[in-house]
Structure 1
């Protein structure tokens, strides 16, 4: 918790610091990566650096954590607390990349160097001390949660080699990869809705990483399946340069958005390649012959773009109480015409809603769901890349 001396300082300076966080994080990343270019080899995604999404996510995380400390002065439980989503989401992403506790000191040095420059006109020793306290409270909570997640993996190595055994087109713009472990090291099973990080050597020799949802058989320890849209540097390299028989590096499954044990009805709403975690969830429910009511909702521009159409149709049909509804912007038989709206859907009472797709889509569907009676605590979402929803919350 914040000390009594720091609390009023953070409260008074949060608007000013928040207004300058974009400039602070831009300077932070430019300086740190300029002096440590090795961090771009397998750790930081340079496409997210170019787009500015990573610094927006960092700025949002710092501001969001400070707001949480002001709202809830009590010590935070790492599993049950009002600010769970922020720390839990970042911790899972860090574990999928192999972030270590020692790296928090490096980040601190460069981040507060940037703060000293960007806030030079107002910075006092007291303000610096208060924001240092915020940073280290966040770092300590993150590193503590990350230690728990690393221990749960049961394997000290962050990365392990997997061989591509199948590579098949999925819709018109995506490719599914099925990989088997190269060695006998035990691989931890995942949970439906989780992702793995994939590390690929690029043409210039630099390794780049990106997270991909497990799209089938998430609970297997002997095989991984993930589906990749042809979009972005790493994804294009996987499509164009990685072939059956090649070996790639994968992290253990991570991610805080996974299907929980419950008898509540499940609503899975996705757009575009956001169908991947939903497909894994449907596969798991189908394999278990789950008696839960399952409502799968998916939207695309055109029917042929739907990456995992056959798999999802088959799994919904195999469920004891499953239903599928579709929306296509170009008319297609058996589907709604236009963009998804829950106003066209009879939502089951007590439902749990999982969302994945573009941020605008998820925000709109979430609001509709709340308006129709789904409690916010039973609405979960997954974002591909830096979480700009949290950053703008």
Structure 2
């Protein structure tokens, strides 16, 4: 089953038909997406390397796609609502090097899955409508991804696809996180990027040939190198592969991507609030370094949570930044401090980062908020900012999972 060419605009009949499927998709979304992935990996195993196997095993990918399909069905008559989601998907696709030829594979399997799960004939109006809608959405994504690839390639020191980088330095930041300083093997400099963005690392995989992961760039742009700071996850195939690499070895790296970043061209007078927990510190640290260099007059509040001193990365670096910049206030909270932590005064308070702490530290709630960390932390912060009535334009986050889970929580 081929995906038809994308129309210039969706017909009224298609819009009505797709919207009418929203309730049944809400009910059967995960069943549909599980069937879709099983079918696609069976019929088109050549695309399996583009997908995160651990997310597949845990159901994260299936839930994310189900949420995206339901959101598209519900808002197909008002696609402006989905603009930020489309940008997020396009950036993720660019990081994985998704190309136009991949879309017919996904489309044919998705339409077949809809047909099979809902027991519909191939010429049913729902299948026909979704074929038209998918072609329309694919054309939007292909166009945006082409723009991203062109920007990456034309940027100074930019490139297309994957490029060999050498690990020029490896630094143990805590018991669980190690930083990797990466420079191009050909001796060139690296392109600039927006603080908060990530790069894609591609490594060998015994099953699919290769597999890829995104890692936030953990320092302000530096022409000589990228830096990623990677937590060794239990059963994390890629993170443990990286931790086993030595200085001098090479990695395949994709250009910087991502829609979660601090826009240094904007000049808000509002205070900047950077909230992180655990390894979520990595993109926020790049923002902190960049913001202090670009806007030394802007109030910055850096609030970080960790279990204890042994899992706390970049502690001395953040203290140094705070001490050197009068506009920076930092606060460290440990949930399980040790006696050694207490004796060394390594933290400012105990417990988890919550509304009371944030409210007591800030001079006003009218701030720009950026946050990243584990799901419970993210859900708590997101819920609190909503309760405070903070406008969506002032709330920015990087959530590694289906955003619907965060929003539902």
TM-score normalised by structure 2 residue count: 0.87
Structure 1 residues 289, 356: closer, same or farther in 2, change over 3 A? same
Aligned ranges for residues 231-246 of structure 1 at < 5 Å?
A: 231=233, 232-240=236-244, 242-246=245-249
1:344 to 343, 357, 373: 357
Question: Unpaired segments of 5 or more residues in structure 1?
Answer: none
1:292 to 288, 298, 313: 298
* CA distance in 2 between partners of 1:171 and 1:7 (Å): 52
* CA distance in 1 between partners of 2:111 and 2:253 (Å): 33
Structure 1 residues 222, 36: closer, same or farther in 2, change over 3 A? farther
| SS of residue matched to 1:166 | strand
Q: CA deviation at 1:111?
A: 1.0
Aligned ranges for residues 132-211 of structure 1 at < 5 Å?
A: 132-154=131-153, 155=158, 157-183=160-186, 187-202=190-205, 206-211=209-214
Aligned to 1:222: 224
Aligned to 2:67: 60
| SS of residue matched to 2:170 | strand
1:363 to 379, 382, 400: 379
Aligned to 2:15: 7
Structure 1 residues 4, 49: closer, same or farther in 2, change over 3 A? same
* CA distance in 2 between partners of 1:123 and 1:267 (Å): 52
Asked whether the equivalents of residues 212 and 228 of structure 1 are also in contact (C-alpha less than 8 Å), the reply is: yes
Structure 1 residues 133, 312: closer, same or farther in 2, change over 3 A? farther
How well do the aligned residues superpose, as a CA RMSD in angstroms?
2.3
Question: Unpaired segments of 5 or more residues in structure 2?
Answer: 1-8
Aligned to 1:379: 395
| SS of residue matched to 1:83 | helix
| SS of residue matched to 2:113 | helix
Asked whether the equivalents of residues 52 and 212 of structure 2 are also in contact (C-alpha less than 8 Å), the reply is: yes
Asked whether the equivalents of residues 211 and 385 of structure 1 are also in contact (C-alpha less than 8 Å), the reply is: no
Question: RCO greater where, 1 or 2, for CA within 8 Å and sep 6 or more?
Answer: 1
* CA distance in 2 between partners of 1:380 and 1:286 (Å): 19
Aligned to 2:115: 116
Q: CA deviation at 1:169?
A: 0.7
Aligned to 1:40: 48
Aligned to 2:3: none
* CA distance in 2 between partners of 1:168 and 1:310 (Å): 14
Q: CA deviation at 1:158?
A: 1.3
* CA distance in 2 between partners of 1:387 and 1:49 (Å): 16
| SS of residue matched to 2:218 | strand
* CA distance in 2 between partners of 1:235 and 1:19 (Å): 35
Asked whether the equivalents of residues 60 and 390 of structure 1 are also in contact (C-alpha less than 8 Å), the reply is: no
* CA distance in 2 between partners of 1:318 and 1:172 (Å): 27
Structure 1 residues 196, 290: closer, same or farther in 2, change over 3 A? same
